[in-house]
Structure 1
Amino acid sequence: MTEYRVEAEGIEKAFGENKVLRGVSFKVATGTATAIIGPSGSGKTTLLRTLNALDRADAGVIRVDDVQIDFATPTPKAEVRRFQSRSGFVFQGHNLFPHKTVLENITEGPVMVQKRPKEQAVAEAVELLERVGLADKRDQYPYQLSGGQQQRVGIARALALKPKVVLFDEPTSALDPELVGEVLSVIKDLAVEGWTLVIVTHEIQFARQVSSQVLFTDRGIILERGTPDEVIGNPKQDRTRQFLDRILNPL
């Protein structure tokens, strides 16, 4: 029987008159990677942000691990914090604290939010920096790093919180092309290690390689879902084929 780490049912979200999500439902099996692809403005990032309540959905139910929120009803702040603690978020633009060192950026959450001993947090941060290939950068500041290095620090910071699922919002879109590979390599390693991942990405070949499930979103709905071979290799919907052709075969 499949165990699901994330379950979303009937997610609705609007910004003013703009309905961004229209009754979205999907599941993410434990230990798998799900890639969300689709055109700009299709609701990908908003959907991802609802999984961490960075954007609060207007309606629908989301369960992440053992915490569930029904967004149609008021939710106590303590329960929202419990919900948010189940996932780590890797932002498109790094979002590192500029005045803190690499090590301080990674230990901030475990020490200040989770109240874990500083010595333990530092030891685990050093291990994470080794994992992402940045052990020699621990005392540097974000401005001293390349974009790819900053994003790898962002991944280490998310992992430091020991989340049940890691959410990636287009983690390579702000990078120079030659830096993309180093970030994707770290994410591939996490997938191989059995982390549960949800990745909004425009890197179609990467999505095909790393994910167990691909969701194609368009105009606020999931238009097509399935394995990478099904959705990317042999899409059923004309809209999916049109999108992939433009991405994979640019003029």
Structure 2
Amino acid sequence: MSPTDAVLQVRGLGKSFGSNTVLRGIDLDIPRGKVVALIGPSGSGKTTILRSLNGLETPDGGSVTVGARDNSAEGPLTVDFGDAALPKKARAAQLSALRDRSAMVFQHYNLFPHMTVLQNVIEGPVQVQKRPRAEVVAEAEKLLDRVGLLEKKDAYPFELSGGQQQRVGIVRALALKPQLLLFDEPTSALDPELVDDVLAVIKELADEGWTMVIVTHELAFARQTADEVVFMADGLVVERGPASQVLRHPKEERTQAFVRRLLHEI
């Protein structure tokens, strides 16, 4: 698959924190409009992959390529983390460009507490992307209306439920018009009764053809939404394949044990 066919290509991604190696040569290919779910035990490297794709973490080696933008003269962007000779300023520019093409929805919302809902949503497009404020506000209000939160646009995060805050987090990501949406356990911090509303929004985005990487422990949701499931352990990809195959009939023993345990806990 060439960069023109894929939104994302990852090759040989490696990362260590001191003596702890968390990613061991990860490869991923995600075609445009597809959804990949990353599953696996805590500490397997799933969140580190997402943070690397969003430029929040700098891997020790490997490369990330994000394909050409639709309707744009910009070609594919490749960041080679193995290029030790690259000056720090050039690396910072690459990471900034990587963040411009992807958007992260965090586990614990990460909304700015001193800003209203609307201010949280427009901050990135206006301050970072330098887009016209009036245009951004109009788009933000449409997105908030879509997830049923337009009437909360002047509220502050502490006035919202966890589910409402997470939906604002999703809108904030969409407002950046990314090529790639990244979700880090988007429901794990929510009370059970609030989970369905958030999952419904993500499922709708998948149906619309957004390209997404989702770290999740919600196996039923992954089976319904993901085109591919990747099971990770100890910084390695142990098994990958169609969601129905990996989650219903996993081939590897480690995958089988993980799926059995999670289904038993549910």
Classify the TM-score, shorter chain.
over 0.9
1:102 aligns with 2:117: yes
Deviation at 1:212, TM superposition (A): 0.3
Q: How does 1:47-86 map to 2 (within 5 A)?
A: 47-65=49-67, 66-73=76-83, 74=86, 75-86=90-101
- Which of 179, 199, 205 is the equivalent residue of 1:190? 205
Q: Deviations over 1:116-143 (max 9, x none)?
A: 1110010000011012111111010000
2:138 aligned residue: 123
Partner letter of residue 176 of structure 1? D
1:149 aligned residue: 164
1:180 aligned residue: 195
Deviation at 1:233, TM superposition (A): 1.1
Deviation at 1:70, TM superposition (A): 0.4
Distance in 1, matches of 2:52 and 2:94, equals 15
Secondary structure of 1:236 counterpart:
coil
Q: How does 1:2-41 map to 2 (within 5 A)?
A: 3-41=5-43
1:111 aligned residue: 126
Structure 1: any 5+ residue segments left out of the alignment?
none
Distance in 1, matches of 2:37 and 2:192, equals 20
Partner letter of residue 72 of structure 1? G
Partner letter of residue 71 of structure 1? F
1:200 aligns with 2:232: no
Q: How does 1:131-142 map to 2 (within 5 A)?
A: 131-142=146-157
Partner letter of residue 174 of structure 2? L
Secondary structure of 2:109 counterpart:
coil
Q: Deviations over 1:169-198 (max 9, x none)?
A: 000011111111110000000000000010
Q: Deviations over 1:46-105 (max 9, x none)?
A: 111111121110000111222110001134322221111000100110000101000000
1:225 aligned residue: 240
Secondary structure of 2:9 counterpart:
strand
Deviation at 1:26, TM superposition (A): 1.0
1:212 aligned residue: 227
Number of matched residues? Answer: 251
Distance in 2, matches of 1:128 and 1:28, equals 25
Q: Once superposed, what is the RMSD of the aligned Cα atoms?
A: 1.2
Secondary structure of 1:129 counterpart:
helix
TM-score, normalised to structure 1's length? 0.98
Deviation at 1:250, TM superposition (A): 2.6
Secondary structure of 1:88 counterpart:
strand
Partner letter of residue 244 of structure 2? D
Partner letter of residue 234 of structure 2? R
Distance in 2, matches of 1:114 and 1:182, equals 29
Structure 2: any 5+ residue segments left out of the alignment?
68-75
Provide the identity percentage: 55
2:255 aligned residue: 240
Deviation at 1:234, TM superposition (A): 0.7
Partner letter of residue 241 of structure 1? Q
Distance in 2, matches of 1:191 and 1:238, equals 30
Secondary structure of 1:188 counterpart:
helix
Secondary structure of 1:28 counterpart:
strand
Partner letter of residue 108 of structure 1? E
Distance in 1, matches of 2:200 and 2:166, equals 12
2:44 aligned residue: 42
Secondary structure of 2:62 counterpart:
strand
Distance in 2, matches of 1:32 and 1:132, equals 22
Secondary structure of 1:62 counterpart:
strand
Deviation at 1:230, TM superposition (A): 1.3
